[in-house]
Amino acid sequence: MPDPVDTLVERSATELIIETSGLTKRFGARTALDGVDLRVPRGCAFGFLGPNGAGKTTMIRMLLGLTQATSGSMRLLGHPVPAERAVALSRVGAIVEEPRFHPYLTGRENLRVVAAVRGPEVRERIEPALARVGLADRADQKVKSYSLGMRQRLGVARCLLSDPLLLILDEPTNGLDPGGIQEFREMIRAMVEHEGRTVFISSHLLDEVEKTCDAAAIVDRGKVVTQGAMAELAGGGEVRHELIIGVDDVDRALSAIDTSELVRDAHRSDEGLRVVLAGGPESAAQLNAALVGAGVAVMRLEPVRQSLEARFLEITARLDSPTDPAEVRA
Amino acid sequence: MSTTIAAQMAGADFLKLRKKRGTLIWALVLAWAPVVIFYAVTAIQHASNPGKYGPAGGTASFHDGVRLLGGLLFGPLVAILIGVEAGTNDASAGVFRDLVVTGRSRLALFASRLPAALALCWAIIISAYVLVLVGTFVFASNLATPDSALVLNGLGFLLLSTGVMCAIAVGFASLTTSKPAAIIALIAWQLIASPLIVSIESLGSPRKFVLSQALVHFSPVGLGDDGRHAATMSGATALLVIVLWLVVFLGLGAWRTRTMDA
């Protein structure tokens, strides 16, 4: 079976925007990241998913040069870091942990401070960035009067000053209300789909990553345990097209599709039938025609959404379970 | 890094400092209030009893004004407040990491703090010096007033003593990254430890390495205890001591800024 990440990379037909190899970070005796090989393709929203304390923020801090790696190598936008860190970061925008600002300065002044550090041409991007995040009319208020949602948006505006090819956002929806989360999600999708940026989101919120991202890596206890496109991740590296079919006569339906080449597996369920297709999702229509042709009334035909949560729990449960036979016996 | 970017960065640091209202107000109060109070009190005394109290202005009061500002008391306090604010500002607001992730070198981020701090510190000190000159000339009556050379020397000394202290405060605050700790340590050194060490004559020539002693060497007016306890040194030695202090503290600040986890 092909490596899901390789498949994803081939599909994106571009180079990797983040690539790490054997990345390790130790704090004394504690290993925060252990030999991480991460590959993030360009032009997608990529989730870096893991429970609190899994090493997500440490990973981001190393990518951005905020702390040094103990061993391993990293490439950002194709540039080795930390050797070519300045070049790489010139087109990266990042929010690490919560967005922080000088509270006594206005939103616009805070952006001016960062624009001054980035370069003379960046100052022209302040107004468009403020407008892009919907803060143009509040930009002259002091940041200490901003809500958390406004600070998050100002953080994104600060990221946009670099006209970033890559945005790195660490737990971006923390503390946001449902409306704010929805707004944030739409903004990220627009950046990916309409502006061609890559967004790397670290989060412990499965649902958030599943709704926002095209691909993800699951990290736990300092190790990347799996990574790939979202559908592949949810299906355990295998893309399954499963249907729930509501029919008037389950037995007749089962006998009608029993020998069909369209079906890999079929069984009775509370909803009627559960069918795993042998081919892609387009074969659902053929299956429907076959059932109708056999005199079965089809009342419902619904694709089953593979849940990333189920996959995540499966992976973390596997890591929790003892593998040492002696440990099992104990 | 181009000079344009360096100037922009220093400008941004200056913006952060001048908008920090609490620090700015305290710095202005420390610079202006002693001068205003000094001339107001002496003018009132002279007006109420001219026979006992001389005019508030003139060369003698100019000396007193320079002592107040540059005499290792209020001027250095202003410099410490502003220097420490410049050194800790980004780290204490949690913004330092956001500046680091721009890719700009940490040394450049450190270096931009110094001109911004000096610009604000000197602007305040010069404004207070103008008050001294106003008091000196307006209230001089029939007394002699300082000539232009003395006025320029006084200004030069104030800029030197406060500039050096401000730079050291930037370096030390960048090293500690704690505003309260840096302010307490520097004020304690300036107001307590430094005069104490200088007063212990048995310490001999090592007292030359106390910064205030090196700075006093360049003062156009008599400072402190009229030299009773001062360690004598040549101009070159004084300059060397000042440079040594600057190199050590700016070096430590730069090292810490370059190596700390952001």
Please give the Cα distance from B103 to A118 (Å, whole number). 8
pLDDT tens figures, A141-172: 999 999 988 998 999 999 999 999 999 999 88
pLDDT tens figures, A54-63: 889 999 999 9
| Interchain CB distance below 8 Å, A89 and B101 | yes
Among B20, B21, B17, B2, residue whose Cα is nearest residue A116: B2
pLDDT band at A1 (very low <50, low <70, confident <90, very high): very low
CA-based nearest distance A318→chain B, Å: 34
H, E, C per residue of chain B: CCHHHHHHHHHHHHHHHHCCHHHHHHHHHHHHHHHHHHHHHHHHHHHHCCCCCCCCCCHHHHHHHHHHHHCCCHHHHHHHHHHHHHHHHHHHHCCHHHHHCCCCCHHHHHHCHHHHHHHHHHHHHHHHHHHHHHHHHHCCCCCCCCCHHHHHHHHHHHHHHHHHHHHHHHHHHHHHCCHHHHHHHHHHHHHHHHHHHHHCHHHCHHHHHCHHHHHHCCCCCCCCCCCCCCCCCCHHHHHHHHHHHHHHHHHHHHHHHHHCCC
Other Cβ atoms within 10 Å of A39 Cβ, number: 22
- What was the pLDDT predicted at A282? 80
Task: For chain B, report the end-to-end CA distance as a whole number of angstroms.
Answer: 21
State which residue of chain B sits closest to A65, comparing Cα positions: B101
Nearest CB to B102 within list A101, A103, A114: A114
| Interchain CB distance below 8 Å, B99 and A103 | no
User: How deeply is A158 buried, as exposed, middle or buried, from its count of CB atoms within 10 A (0-12, 13-18, 19+)?
Assistant: buried
Nearest CB to B21 within list A65, A89, A104: A104
Amino acid letter for position B190: Q
From the candidates B16, B21, B96, B101, which should be mutated to test the interface with A, based on the most A CB atoms within 10 A?
A: B101
Is cis: bond before A82, omega within 30 of 0?
yes
Among A179, A171, A170, residue whose Cα is nearest residue A147: A179
From the candidates B102, B257, B259, B261, which should be mutated to test the interface with A, based on the most A CB atoms within 10 A?
A: B102
Where helices occur in chain A by DSSP H, the ranges are 4-12, 56-63, 85-89, 107-118, 126-132, 148-160, 178-193, 206-212, 230-234, 250-257, 283-293, 308-320, 325-329
From the candidates A95, A117, A146, A165, which should be mutated to test the interface with B, based on the most B CB atoms within 10 A?
A: A117
- Per run of 10 residues, the mean pLDDT along chain B (length 262 residues) is 89 96 95 94 94 92 89 86 96 93 94 97 97 95 92 95 96 95 94 86 81 88 59 85 96 94 78
What tokens were used for A323?
């593998």
Contact B14, B120 (CB under 8 A): yes
| Interchain CB distance below 8 Å, B103 and A88 | yes
Q: Check if B152 contacts A (Cβ < 8 Å).
A: no
Other Cβ atoms within 10 Å of A6 Cβ, number: 11
Nearest CB to B99 within list A109, A112, A117: A117
pLDDT tens figures, A105-140: 999 999 999 999 998 889 999 999 999 898 999 999
> Which residues of chain A lie closer than 8 angstroms to B100, CB-CB?
64-66
3-class secondary-structure state, position A282: coil
User: How deeply is B195 buried, as exposed, middle or buried, from its count of CB atoms within 10 A (0-12, 13-18, 19+)?
Assistant: middle
- What was the pLDDT predicted at A325? 43
Q: In B, residues 20-49, which contact A (CB 8 Å cutoff)?
A: 20-21
Contact B154, B129 (CB under 8 A): yes
C-alpha Rg value of chain B to the nearest Å: 20
Which of A180-194, A234-248, B42-56 comes out lowest in average pLDDT? A234-248
Contact B60, B143 (CB under 8 A): yes
> Which residues of chain B lie closer than 8 angstroms to A170, CB-CB?
none
pLDDT band at A319 (very low <50, low <70, confident <90, very high): low
**A142 - beta bridge partners?**
A106
A276: CB partners within 8 A, 6+ apart: A240, A241, A242, A243, A263, A264, A265, A266
Other Cβ atoms within 10 Å of B121 Cβ, number: 30
Helix then strand then coil, % of chain A, to nearest 5:
40, 30, 35
3-class secondary-structure state, position A44: coil
| Interchain CB distance below 8 Å, A117 and B12 | yes
3-class secondary-structure state, position A277: strand
A23: CB partners within 8 A, 6+ apart: A33, A35, A36, A37, A38, A59, A62, A69, A71, A72, A73, A74
| Interchain CB distance below 8 Å, A86 and B15 | no
From the candidates A102, A110, A121, A158, which should be mutated to test the interface with B, based on the most B CB atoms within 10 A?
A: A102
Among A265, A276, A266, residue whose Cα is nearest residue A235: A276
| Interchain CB distance below 8 Å, B12 and A162 | no
Phi-psi sector, A236: left (phi>0), alpha (psi -120 to 50), beta: left
Nearest CB to B19 within list A104, A119, A158: A104
Contact A7, A232 (CB under 8 A): yes
- CB burial readout B72-84, b (16+ within 10 A) else e: bbbbbbbbbbbbb
Please give the Cα distance from A308 to A216 (Å, whole number). 10
What tokens were used for A289?
């025609």
3-class secondary-structure state, position A213: coil
- What was the pLDDT predicted at B170? 98
Residue of higher predicted confidence among A24 and A183: A24
ipTM above threshold 0.90? no
Measured CB to CB, residues of chain A less than 8 Å from chain B are 61, 64-67, 85-90, 92, 94, 96, 99-105, 109, 112-114, 116-120, 158, 162
- What was the pLDDT predicted at A209? 86
Contact A220, A58 (CB under 8 A): no
- What was the pLDDT predicted at A8? 44
DSSP state of A47: E
pLDDT tens figures, A249-304: 888 888 888 878 888 888 888 888 888 888 777 888 888 888 898 889 999 888 87
Contact A287, A277 (CB under 8 A): yes
3-class secondary-structure state, position A246: strand
Q: Measure CA B110 to chain center.
A: 19
Please give the Cα distance from B109 to A270 (Å, whole number). 64
State which residue of chain B sits closest to A103, comparing Cα positions: B93
Among A139, A119, A120, residue whose Cα is nearest residue A129: A139
Please give the Cα distance from B235 to B233 (Å, whole number). 7
| Interchain CB distance below 8 Å, A117 and B102 | yes
Nearest CB to B97 within list A66, A113, A162: A66
CA-based nearest distance A89→chain B, Å: 5
pTM greater than 0.90: no
CA-based nearest distance A38→chain B, Å: 20
State which residue of chain B sits closest to A112, comparing Cα positions: B12
* Placement of tokens 């040549």 in the chain: B234
3-class secondary-structure state, position A264: strand
Q: Check if B12 contacts A (Cβ < 8 Å).
A: yes
Q: Check if B102 contacts A (Cβ < 8 Å).
A: yes
Section A75-98 average pLDDT: 91
State which residue of chain B sits closest to A91, comparing Cα positions: B102
Contact B146, B154 (CB under 8 A): yes
| Interchain CB distance below 8 Å, B103 and A94 | no
| Interchain CB distance below 8 Å, A103 and B93 | yes
Among A257, A81, A101, residue whose Cα is nearest residue B103: A81
pLDDT band at A235 (very low <50, low <70, confident <90, very high): low
| Interchain CB distance below 8 Å, B98 and A64 | no
pLDDT at position A327 over 80 = no
